Structure formats: structure tokens, C-alpha cells
Chains A and B, each alone.
Chain A
């Protein structure tokens, strides 16, 4: 009997954890998109006010806990240290990290645009282009938040219910 109870509880826990894990993935997308938006603002400020070279901007961000969820930063900073062209390094870093950050193809596409913008023109032109990028990103952030709230809750409930359902079947 005790084994049956343990089995049922385990199944319920497993189901719930699956739901939570799925919901957390959706939260991760929201968090990384928020961090990316903040990153764009910081880049714009660095370019506009301090004219810091691109490689130094990203080297500085590495140590900033605000951007710890942006898993493309270490690879990007390493590539820039090796003096690789920014556009190529950016594309490789974003494409490599997008699945980890739970980004959709549209998120990646928007982010990849920065590869053609950053460091390619004077500060004013870059600021304007980054502002446009931020506007495009805002819609995706809104969608991610909405998904996280609605689908996230649904996944959590589904997880718990699936766990209960499997436990019942087990009994």
C-alpha cells in the first residue's frame, strides 16, 4: 500500500514539475527579452554619450548581473576579443543562444538586425536605428508576457492535472 501511495505522489509531483518547467520556459523568454531591451538601451547610451568601442561595450556587460540571462554574451565578447567582425560574431552568438533563451524565430530575427546596425554608422544614425529596433521588440515582449500569463498558468494546471490523472490510472 505504501508503495502505491509513494508512486501516486511521485506521479503527481512529476506531472506538476513538467507543467512548471514548461511555464518557466515561457517566463524565461519574457525575462531574456526584457534583459535584451535593457541591453539595447545601455548600448544606445554608451554609443551616444561615451562613444565606447563595440568590443569594450560588450566586455563591460559581461560582468553586469542585469544581463546574466543573456547567454549569448560570453561567446560574443570572446569573438570580439579575437577581433572577429561584429556582424558575424553577433549572428553566431544569437543563433547559438536563441534556443536556450526560449526565443522564437521572430525574436531572433529582430535581434539579428542589430548586427547590421551596431558600429556601422555614426552615433546618431545608430541611436535612431536602435530606437526602431526597440519599438519592434516591444510588440514581441508584449506577446511573450501575454503568453507567459495565459499559457504559463495553463501549463502549470495541466501539469498538476496530468499528474493526478496518471496517479488515478496507476491506482
Chain B
């Protein structure tokens, strides 16, 4: 039986690519996390078990072969057009930002030749590559972390790209909202890139629980502000924090008694130490736990830092490791 997330993710691709992708075996379909299209190169499927090369007939190999499906420039253009629902003009802002989100929360990263005006990318032309990341809901993915919901502070999920941060965050939201720890929390999920809930016409495509409010497409700082003012949350959840506005809003949330669960790009403790913004948040006592996720397999907790209440570390290396 084909894997539903995989099938949903490739649904908008042109038939020339979609047909061989549909012919891929079920076991591979389950593993695939990314579909990589690079101009002039064979189409690649990346998963937890390595990279596979796809042939035009749907067969996969671990090394490039002569019958691999080569991604031409025309095919890339067709992909872009189909992914944008034949409305590239409606997605110019997203394309300039380098990604767009498909129905179901699947994210497509798009690169090419940048058109730059006043130091900012206003458009991209001559698309040279795409990366379709398949979003999956794995209920129980964060099960070992559920007790952290009952601690005094927020939860920060750290990991490299592809380490399953969003999947774990989504499961934590579900756990908080469905009362997996015995208490049901009201959660406001600020989903700027529409990956957490993958909302379509207001309805989340992933299960986030019955007491979760989904704020889709809001810039994170603005979304947190609105959630705080209007939605009376116990928890605010957001993906990939990274700028000062967001940090300020997170601090504001903490001062309002609302806990925050968030993700951040950082593979290890040193990466966190090197980011002043995260140091500031940890120093202010926003988070009671920092969870590092690994890539093999994605979503596995490889390191956990727990902070006692009132413990305001100046040196992260001194933090207690469990």
C-alpha cells in the first residue's frame, strides 16, 4: 500500500516525474524524506537510509545509472508551474523567500538565479534546483519528551536540518492539547511557514488536538503577539526561532505566564553557545529543557539539558546533562 504522505507530497508534480515516483516500492516511499531535483542531474530520493537514484521506470539504485531520470530545465519549469498550481504570479513572495509550502505541510525549497534589488532578493529566475521535503505526522514521536510538558518552563528543540524538529514539535503540540500528561493545555501554534499544521482553507492537515489554535502564515513575532492578546494560550508553539523580534515576543510570553515550545537550528551545545539570541533566552529562563535531536534516525533525542527554576546559566557548558 502506497505511503499516503509521500503520495500527497508528489500529487502536484507533473506526470513525467509523478509516474516513476508512484512506481517506487512502498518501503522506499516510507523512508523518503526529500525529493531532490537538480537541473541536468538524476532525480534523487533522500531518506534515513541514504540517497536513491530514480529511473524513468520507477526503479531505484544506490548509485547513478544510465537509465536514471535526468531532470531537464523544462521539467524543472513544469514542476514549478504545477507546484504553484499554474499560478507562479501568486507565489512570487514565497519564491523570493526560497520556499513554498504545499497542501499537507510539505515544503519545497527552490533555488535559481536571484534578482536582487536594494540588497534583498525580489525574485528568482532560471530555476536550478528544488528540494521537496515530505512532512509526516508521527504520533508518539515525542513520547519520551511528554513529561517535559509538566516542567516549569518552555521546551527548546534543537537539531540540524532534517533531524525531525518539526515532527517532534507537532507531536508535542498534540500531546499538550490532548492531555497526554493528564492535563489538557490550550496551545497556540504560530505556523509562519505552514509546516506545523499544513492548513488548507483553515483546516489543519495534521492532527494538532482539539485545544490547539493554529495561526497560519503569520510572521512568528506578530503571531505570538496576537496569540498572547487574543487566544489565552497555556503554550505558544513555533518553528525555527531566529530573530530579535521573535526573541522579544518569546520573553513577553514568558512574562505573561505562557510557556513556549520552539525549534532552533543547532546540532550541538556549541552551536547554541555561539548564538547570542538563544543564550539570551536561556539566560532569561524561558526554557526549562533543551532537547537535541539527531538525524539517525530523525527525531531521536541525543542530548537533553534540563534547567532548574531560577538557574540562570552564563555558561551553557556548565548545564546539567541528563
Selected from B14, B89, B92, the residue in CB contact (under 8 A) with A85 is B14
Q: Are B92's CB and A53's CB within 8 A?
A: no
Chain A residues with CB below 8 A from B92, complex form: 51, 122-123
Could you list 5 A-B pairs, sorted by A, with CB under 8 Å? A51-B92, A87-B86, A119-B85, A119-B87, A122-B123
A103 at the binding interface (Cβ < 8 Å):
no
* Smallest beta-carbon distance B196→chain A, Å: 23
Q: Tell me whether chain A's interface is mostly helix, strand or loop, or mixed.
A: loop
A118 at the binding interface (Cβ < 8 Å):
yes
List residues 47-103 of chain B with CB under 8 A from any CB of chain A. Answer: 77, 81-82, 84-90, 92, 95
Q: Are A119's CB and B89's CB within 8 A?
A: yes
Chain B residues with CB below 8 A from A80, complex form: 86
* Smallest beta-carbon distance B79→chain A, Å: 11
Which 9 A/B pairs are nearest by Cβ-Cβ distance? A119-B86, A86-B86, A53-B87, A123-B89, A54-B87, A54-B86, A53-B90, A119-B87, A51-B90
Q: B15: nearest residue on chain A (CB-CB)?
A: A85
Chain A residues with CB below 8 A from B81, complex form: 85-86, 119-120
Chain B residues with CB below 8 A from A53, complex form: 85-87, 90
Selected from A47, A55, A83, A87, the residue in CB contact (under 8 A) with B89 is A47
Q: Are B14's CB and A119's CB within 8 A?
A: no
Q: B81: nearest residue on chain A (CB-CB)?
A: A120
Q: Are A54's CB and B85's CB within 8 A?
A: yes
Q: A115: nearest residue on chain B (CB-CB)?
A: B86
**Chain B residues with a Cβ under 8 A of chain A:** 12, 14, 77, 81-82, 84-90, 92, 95, 123, 125
Report how far A122 CA is from B77 CA in the complex, Å: 12
Chain A residues with CB below 8 A from B14, complex form: 85
* Smallest beta-carbon distance B126→chain A, Å: 11
List residues 83-140 of chain A with CB under 8 A from any CB of chain B. Answer: 83, 85-87, 118-123, 126
Number of interface residues of A (CB under 8 A): 18
Q: Are B86's CB and A126's CB within 8 A?
A: no
Chain B residues with CB below 8 A from A51, complex form: 89-90, 92
A149 at the binding interface (Cβ < 8 Å):
no
Q: Mark A54-74, 1 if CB is under 8 A from B, else 0.
A: 110000000000000000000
Report how far A86 CA is from B84 CA in the complex, Å: 11
Chain A residues with CB below 8 A from B87, complex form: 52-55, 119
Report how far A83 CA is from B14 CA in the complex, Å: 12
Chain B residues with CB below 8 A from A118, complex form: 86
Report how far A52 CA is from B91 CA in the complex, Å: 10
Task: Using A119-B81, A121-B88, A122-B123 as known contacts, list a sample of 9 further A-B pairs with CB atoms less than 8 Å apart, ordered by residue number in A.
Answer: A53-B87, A53-B90, A54-B86, A54-B87, A55-B85, A55-B86, A120-B86, A122-B89, A123-B92
Q: A80: nearest residue on chain B (CB-CB)?
A: B86
* Smallest beta-carbon distance A101→chain B, Å: 23
Q: A89: nearest residue on chain B (CB-CB)?
A: B86
Query: Which of A86, A118, A121, A123 is most buried by chain B, counting CB atoms within 10 A of its CB?
Result: A121
Q: A119: nearest residue on chain B (CB-CB)?
A: B86
Chain A residues with CB below 8 A from B125, complex form: 122
**Given A52-B90, A122-B92, A83-B123 contact (CB < 8 Å):** no
Q: B78: nearest residue on chain A (CB-CB)?
A: A85
Q: B82: nearest residue on chain A (CB-CB)?
A: A85
Q: B115: nearest residue on chain A (CB-CB)?
A: A122
Chain B residues with CB below 8 A from A119, complex form: 81, 84-89
Report how far A12 CA is from B85 CA in the complex, Å: 56
Chain B residues with CB below 8 A from A121, complex form: 88-89
* Smallest beta-carbon distance B290→chain A, Å: 41
Report how far A120 CA is from B87 CA in the complex, Å: 7
